[in-house]
Amino acid sequence: MLKKIFSLSKMGIKNVYMGIILTALHNLSVMLPTILLLFVASDMIRSYLEGKNMSHSLFIYWGAALMLLILIYWVYNFTYEKIYIGAYEESANTRIKLAEKIRMLPLSYFGNKDLSDLTSTLMDDTSTVEHTLSTDLTEVFGGIISSAVILLTLFFFDWRMSLSLLICLPISIFVIAISHRASSSSNWKNRNAKLNVSEGIQEYLENIKILHASPNKQTYRFGVEKKIKRVVRTSIIYEVVMGVFISIAYNILRIGIGLVVVTGSYLITHGELDLITYLLFLFVAARIYDPLTTVFFKMGEFFYSFVSASRIREIQDYPAQEGSSDVKLNSYDITFEHVSFAYNTDTVINDVSFKVKQGEITALVGPSGCGKSTLSKLASRFWDVSKGQILIDGKNINDIDPETLLGYYSIVFQDVVLFNDTIYNNIKIGKKDASKEEIIAAAKMARCEEFISKLPEGFDTVIGENGKTLSGGERQRISIARAFLKDAPIVLLDEATASLDPENETLIQEAIGKLIKNKTVLIIAHRLRSVEDCDKIIVLKEGKIMEMGRHKELMSLNGLYHHLFELQRESSKWGICTVD
């Protein structure tokens, strides 16, 4: 059950069980001084009654106490190392497994998730579970086991005293069980409130430039402050709810000490219990509630971690894209057969069929939101189709492992993603075993050498988060250089020259002409003049194909393509004029 709740590996659950056993042994070892104290008290009483000197025995007891101290220290040290090292290793493995799972998830999953949500799971939720594995879980179950062993042993001495010692325990457990049900709702609300704060702060930082220039920045800041205050409120509510129940359970449990005193006094006065046994129960009663009290206090944190564990399981249990990695493609025609696709329930592609032939350039055009980018992402299996199928070399891409499939693609999307690394390494992502000469050649083909030569460290210049030190055109040219370096048989271009000035656009288009020679090319274009020479132009509207053909054919139809082309031609003549 623990393995399922916390998504533990085989080694992880083994370490947890080992930690529970070691914690129980540590709790039992801590009881040994109590037993020694009982022997000392018994010997003192006997020596007093018999008028003997027990100075010789005191040396033995001091030696035994020293040995117990060494034993307790060794058990504690060994337990600490095993539990914490095991918890840290499992936490690291969990983060790695989550990162690997996220890498294999379809993009449809990320459409419903905010970046801060996933970051919070990878960092905050795994840290919460790590804390639970290292302290809460082992102390809860270790305390239960050690207390059970001690109580069962005490029954052999006197069942009546043992019963008085634990008679309040079931009531305390019942109170703790109620606390879990009562706090579950506030626990989720608290977690969601913290997530909203992360999202708000991230959004605030990402848009800080815009906010500085906006008259509404105070309003936006107050919104973030409101989210933070809500976290304070939900955290207090959760702590109060759990605190009240745990305090009640704790105080009910402690009533057992009074019951032991009363029961023992009654039995001694009636000659049914000897003094040594009575002292045994008094000493044990003073110690046995420590691990049980720890159990109750740790229960609050244990229940709190259930939300984090649930969020981790959500990612790990989400179905990943699968397929064979042994597929070999020999030809690279991409065939769309009655393809439909929907974001949740919103259909964006509706019964689309066409073929992107190898050696030809196929362009997707149409109004904003018509489904151009969606079709390109479906072609590369960033999403899986809702209906129909997409074939390459006659094979359904849903049967091909996504990473194997993407090995055949060079992709340049409009939204360029760069890493906080050197320009050299950012280009090398296109081909991990590329030589330095190949990387430099790819950069030259993408017209990157012009701005790279001006940088203080050239190719070794670190460009910041998502290339923030570069202009939009420079960032896009690095992305194009990756595609040149990879030199894959299928090329997807999503407005690859959108951020370039006219001079560099002409140069890049010449370079792209070399890149796409004899390859399967699918272009998404917003500027229609850039696709006039394409072999096939597919005109989309509201997820459907409205027209298909070459430029001249589409212009002669006097339809949607003709309308869009004329609009762009007219807009290119616009300028800014002043009015006196």
At 135, list the tokens.
Answer: 């302290």
DSSP string, 496-515: TTTTS-HHHHHHHHHHHHHH
Among 29, 25, 11, residue whose Cα is nearest residue 133: 11
Checking if the pLDDT of 13 tops 90, the result is: no
pLDDT of res. 190: 75
Q: Which helix (H) or strand (E) holds 558?
A: none
Share of the chain above pLDDT 70, in %: 87
* C-alpha–C-alpha distance, residues 6 and 11, integer Å: 13
pLDDT band at 67 (very low <50, low <70, confident <90, very high): confident
Burial class for 156, CB neighbours closer than 10 Å (0-12, 13-18, 19+): exposed
Among 367, 369, 372, residue whose Cα is nearest residue 523: 372
Q: Do 320 and 140 meet the contact criterion of CB atoms below 8 Å apart?
A: no
pLDDT band at 266 (very low <50, low <70, confident <90, very high): confident
At 269, list the tokens.
Answer: 């006065």
DSSP conformational letter for 422: B
pLDDT band at 548 (very low <50, low <70, confident <90, very high): very high
Q: Which helix (H) or strand (E) holds 245?
A: helix 217-269
* pLDDT tens, position by position, 495-509: 766 656 666 667 667
At 501, list the tokens.
Answer: 């000035």
Q: What is the mean pLDDT of residues 98-111?
A: 78
Q: Which CATH architecture has domain 2-317?
A: Up-down Bundle (1.20)
* C-alpha–C-alpha distance, residues 162 and 166, integer Å: 6
Domain layout of the chain by residue ranges: 2-317, 334-571
CA 544 to chain centre: 37
Q: The tokens 């964006």 sit on which residue?
A: 348
pLDDT of res. 340: 92
* pLDDT tens, position by position, 452-495: 888 888 888 888 877 788 887 788 888 888 888 888 899 888 87
Helix axes 137-155, 159-166, angle to 10 degrees: 150
pLDDT of res. 127: 78
Collapsing DSSP to helix, strand or coil, 158 comes out as coil
pLDDT of res. 371: 85
* C-alpha–C-alpha distance, residues 436 and 424, integer Å: 9
Looking at per-residue pLDDT, the higher value among 68 and 269 belongs to 269
Tell the CATH superfamily of the 334-571 domain. Answer: P-loop containing nucleotide triphosphate hydrolases (3.40.50.300)
* pLDDT tens, position by position, 287-337: 777 777 777 777 777 777 777 788 888 888 888 888 888 888 888 999 999
Checking if the pLDDT of 223 tops 90, the result is: no
Collapsing DSSP to helix, strand or coil, 500 comes out as coil
* pLDDT tens, position by position, 160-205: 888 887 788 888 878 877 877 777 777 777 777 777 777 777 777 7
Rg (CA), the chain: 35
Checking if the pLDDT of 58 tops 70, the result is: no
Mean residue pLDDT of the chain comes to: 79
pLDDT of res. 335: 93
Among 349, 332, 494, 499, residue whose Cα is nearest residue 411: 494
* pLDDT tens, position by position, 383-420: 888 899 999 988 999 999 888 888 899 888 777 888 88
pTM for this predicted structure:
0.68
Share of the chain above pLDDT 90, in %: 7
Collapsing DSSP to helix, strand or coil, 544 comes out as strand
Q: The tokens 């989720």 sit on which residue?
A: 188
Checking if the pLDDT of 338 tops 90, the result is: yes
Checking if the pLDDT of 132 tops 90, the result is: no
CA 136 to chain centre: 22
* C-alpha–C-alpha distance, residues 374 and 413, integer Å: 12
* pLDDT tens, position by position, 25-57: 777 777 777 676 666 666 666 666 666 666 666
Q: Do 412 and 492 meet the contact criterion of CB atoms below 8 Å apart?
A: yes
- Helix (H), strand (E), coil (C) string for 169-233: HHHHHHHHHHHHHHHHHHHHHHHHHHHHHHHHHHHHHHCHHHHHCCCCHHHHHHHHHHHHHHHHH
CA 403 to chain centre: 21
Looking at per-residue pLDDT, the higher value among 59 and 268 belongs to 268
